[in-house]
Amino acid sequence: MRSRLGPVWPKVVASLVAKGTSTASYQLAYLLTGELYPTGVRSLAISLASAFSSIGAAVSSYLNDLLVAVVWWGPAAVYGVLSLAAALLTAVLPETTLRPLPDTVEDTRTLGNAG
């Protein structure tokens, strides 16, 4: 199928990949937040992650409308750059596989150093 701007399927595939990675990152926020914060502040950290992700979801629709009026590729560029930055920052978090959850702030500080 073709539109007046070219084939439609690359846009559909890119949109589906973006939606899938968006959903995965939302779930990853809950998973990593729960594993990286100590017991005393874990529920607060998960609540803050949820609140900021909801704020981001609300702001993104307005940002999309504002940027598409300036340049058609603006929203995709902003979302793509922010997604890549989040992926790079997530890559430097410590590995938590087969490690106990931290109970204190000191446990959290040494989480990345434990072998």
pLDDT tens, position by position, 30-79: 888 888 889 889 899 889 988 988 898 899 889 889 988 998 888 888 88
Question: Would you list the domain boundaries of the chain?
Answer: 2-91
More confident residue, 84 or 2: 84
Of the CA atoms within 13 Å of residue 54, those in its CB half-sphere come to 6
Please state whether the predicted TM-score (pTM) of the whole model is above 0.75: no
> What's the pLDDT score for residue 60?
86
Q: Is 83 left (phi over 0), alpha (psi -120 to 50) or beta?
A: alpha
CA-CA-CA-CA dihedral for 38, 44, 50, 51, to nearest 10: -140
85, two tokens = 């930055």
* Rg of the chain over all Cα atoms, to the nearest angstrom: 19
Q: Nearest 5°: phi and psi at 24?
A: -65, -40
- Whole-angstrom distance, CA of residue 89 vs CA of residue 70: 29
Of the CA atoms within 13 Å of residue 84, those in its CB half-sphere come to 5
